Amino acid sequence: MAQESRIYPLDKIRNIGIIAHIDAGKTTTTERILFYTGKSYKIGDIDEGTTVMDWMDQEKERGITIVSAATTAFWKDCRINIIDTPGHVDFTAEVERSLRVLDGAITVLDAEEGVQSQSETVWRQADKYKVPRICFVNKMDKIGADFLKTVKSIEDRLGANPIIMVLPIGSEQEYKGIFDLLNMKSIVWTGEELGAKFEVNDEIPDGMKDEIEDYRHKMIEKIAETDDVLLEKYLNNQEITVEELKKALRAAVISYKLVPIYAGSSLRNKGVQPLLDAVIEYLPSPMDLKEVKGINPKTEAEEVRKLIPEENFTGFAFKVQVDPHVGKLTYIRVYSGKLTAGSYAYNSTKDIKERVGRLLMMHANQREEIKESYAGEIVAVVGLKDTVTGDTLCDETKPIILEKISFPEPVISLAIEPKTKSDQEKLGYALKRLMEEDPTFSVKTNHETGQTIISGIGELQLEVMVERMKREFNVLANVGAPQVAYKETITAQANGEGKYIRQTGGRGQYGHCLIKVEPKPRGEGYEFVNSVKGGAIPSEFITSIEKGIKETMENGVLLGYTMTDMKITLYDGSYHEVDSSDIAFKIAGSMALQSATKKATLTLIEPIMKVEVTTPEEFMGDVIGDLSSKRAQILGTEERGNARIILAQVPLAELTGYATSLRSMTQGRATYYMEPSHYEEVPRNIIEQMLSKSTFTGRVSNT
């Protein structure tokens, strides 16, 4: 296989991802694709825990995807690199990084649920990177499955321009197959041989003649509208061939004017083969995308690389994974040129050279060693020491930095401490490795309590991380209760002075600075401006002042939470020829910030979550009442079949244990979904309560 896989021309390669809401059937769809492309001899099943893509023990136990697995499959004469991404919002970083390196995506939707909240989130993420998509309406055999209603929700909720390519023959228990509108053929799956057998014929199923004519007409019209030549033919009632339609549709999908819609049932093995054909016919190859743009780190000018093997090497590291057998694996999308095992690559983001040890072509958790990797491929590299997610690797003589990936900020944290002395050393190593893997997972030490605090974007993510430390790194640790990641900020402008003078025998200490603090809009972070004139403070001490300010911001002034969203201007100060030192100015910077922020009306901001509760109608009043008691802002309600959907924004602090209380309130029949939305100021009365309970020494009495 290794030799055979090297010779695929660029137009025969597809780099695709499978994205969807949790439980829409992504992993099952991927498993079927692997089975039909001959990569698995036995079909995997999530409920039995035998899937190929969800290979981590925890993924099998929880029945969810945690890490996006990369694999290579072959269909007809093409090579398809597939990345199966998680649907759970806590692992949104996995989706973000996968979309960054994909050329196309399959969005899987549940035929009964239609477009759900996480489907919207991943759709917007794909929009950000302009990824062409195909939709697969899965679970057509489920009770309540409604194909046309789902297509309508794609139009309404996602703002996409869907084009129906197939019509389902029957639905729910009666679901048999699909009618292909382009080729005018019905495809009916027969027998129980895992859907590998199907019959294709020209017969129009009973009672579907009018519907088929209507939708074929609409399909041709939509394709013709995207191509001037075809539009002219269409308006003059001239015959348009299937080949012409396919060619125009491919161009329309790649330029993201149309989204083809397919249907099937992955679990019942129906509809997957036509979906694979569509991937090859309509999703782009690296050749269609032609080039990738970046910045030259030395000149800041825009650089362009053609996506061909003859070009200089450019690759993008989109994922780091700790492998129990080979150590650290770095997944690289090779955009241009080629990468050879045993050579060196230049990390232009960090300005360092990295040795490329071995190259592996991945198939979920199995691997095959290769000597060279060419433009258009996704490969795992063993041996890179300092390369992390978002770094660009390239040819040192032609440096380029590709656009980085932006990740959401952590909103929840918990304290963790090793159980024994021997766990202490292993804990540091394990946390460092896990941070390399997941950019939304961060670790910091609270110097006052000596505790290690881990933060992430959801309880499930932190739970999985602690579990992985135990299983993969043999670290036993005690874990505190999850805490909300509050932040401190200011609401007014103020000035502050920091003067540090120590006179002991011999040389003293002298540092003095004056600063102004101003609030910045939410989410804009911290900005330091040096406007000292006339050398009032020598330039070598300016960095020491900023260091002192930064340290104080990390440790907080009001309740010990990190400070953010403020601009700090250093405008004056003084120094002493002999006694001034780095440490004195660092302390002065810290004192100045404390003095200024105490006058600038300190306040707390907290993470607000977007919450969506799906409940039977009879419990709707109770659920809304309960949410209102949690300081929720109810944004609206929707109907979906017999269920009611309640949309709200709720402070994360109020949602501890919400899963349990929702279950008991609705006899276990309601479900909810949440994702971080934004930060908002905490009401004054709640800050007062927190201050009265706090033992934090930096507490401010005059706020």
pLDDT tens digits for range 220-252: 999 999 999 999 998 888 888 999 999 999 999
Supply φ then ψ for residue 201, to 5 degrees: -145, 170
- Residue 385 near residue 434 (C-beta atoms within 8 A): no
Instruction: Return all residues near 619 (Cβ < 8 A) that are at least 6 apart.
Output: 665, 666, 667, 669, 670
* Number of helical H runs and strand E runs in the chain: 18, 38
Q: Which class is 291-402 in CATH?
A: mainly beta
At residue 84, the pLDDT reads 60
Burial track 98-110 (b if 16+ CB lie within 10 A, e otherwise) = bbbbbbbbbbbbb
More confident residue, 681 or 388: 681
Average confidence (pLDDT) over 269-273: 82
Please say whether the structural domain 488-600 has been given the CATH code 3.30.230.10. yes
**What is the rounded CA–CA span in Å between residue 89 and residue 96?**
11
Banded pLDDT at 496 (limits 50, 70, 90): very high
End-to-end Cα, the chain, rounded Å: 70
User: Tokens representing 345?
Assistant: 């690559």
Under CATH, which architecture does the 2-289 domain have?
3-Layer(aba) Sandwich (3.40)
At residue 701, the pLDDT reads 34
CATH fold, domain 606-687, is Alpha-Beta Plaits (3.30.70)
- Among 95-104, 249-258, 287-296, 387-396, where is mean pLDDT lowest? 95-104
At residue 62, the pLDDT reads 40
In this predicted model, what pLDDT tens digit does every residue of 125-165 receive, in sequence order?
A: 788 778 899 999 988 888 888 899 999 988 888 888 999 99
Please say whether the structural domain 412-485 has been given the CATH code 3.30.70.870. yes
At residue 215, the pLDDT reads 94
In this predicted model, what pLDDT tens digit does every residue of 334-348 receive, in sequence order?
A: 999 989 999 999 999
Estimate the share of the chain in helix, then strand, then coil, as percent rounded to the nearest 5.
Answer: 30, 35, 35
Residue 322, pLDDT above cutoff 90: no
In this predicted model, what pLDDT tens digit does every residue of 408-436 receive, in sequence order?
A: 778 788 888 888 888 888 888 888 888 87
User: Tokens representing 187?
Assistant: 């495809």
Instruction: Return all residues near 105 (Cβ < 8 A) that are at least 6 apart.
Output: 16, 17, 18, 19, 99, 126, 131, 132, 133, 134
- Residue 466 near residue 477 (C-beta atoms within 8 A): yes
Q: One fold for both 412-485 and 606-687?
A: yes
Neighbours of 424 (CB within 10 A): 14
Identify the three-state secondary structure at position 190.
coil
Q: Domain limits of the chain? A: 2-289, 291-402, 412-485, 488-600, 606-687
pTM for the model: 0.69
Average pLDDT in the chain: 83
Identify the three-state secondary structure at position 491.
coil
Banded pLDDT at 192 (limits 50, 70, 90): low
At residue 475, the pLDDT reads 87
- Residue 407 near residue 417 (C-beta atoms within 8 A): no
The DSSP 8-state label assigned to residue 173 in this structure reads: G
* Percent of the chain with pLDDT strictly greater than 70: 86
**What is the rounded CA–CA span in Å between residue 616 and residue 376?**
48
At residue 620, the pLDDT reads 92
Work out the angle at residue 628's Cα, subtended by the Cα atoms of residues 627 and 632, and round it to the nearest 5 degrees: 75
Residue 595, pLDDT above cutoff 90: yes
Helix (H) or strand (E) holding 214: helix 209-224
Among candidates 53, 15, 12, which has minimal Cα distance to 34? 53
Average confidence (pLDDT) over 655-669: 84
Banded pLDDT at 193 (limits 50, 70, 90): low
Q: Could you give the C-alpha distances from 168 to 172, 262, 368, in angstroms and in order?
A: 10, 9, 39
More confident residue, 196 or 563: 563
Work out the angle at residue 403's Cα, subtended by the Cα atoms of residues 401 and 408, and round it to the nearest 5 degrees: 135
**What is the rounded CA–CA span in Å between residue 268 and residue 266?**
5
Residue 681, pLDDT above cutoff 60: yes
In this predicted model, what pLDDT tens digit does every residue of 15-66 receive, in sequence order?
A: 888 887 767 776 677 777 777 776 444 444 444 444 444 434 443 444 333 3
- Residue 687 near residue 693 (C-beta atoms within 8 A): no
Among candidates 341, 264, 338, which has minimal Cα distance to 36? 264
At residue 68, the pLDDT reads 39
**What is the rounded CA–CA span in Å between residue 577 and residue 82?**
64
Banded pLDDT at 211 (limits 50, 70, 90): very high
At residue 626, the pLDDT reads 94
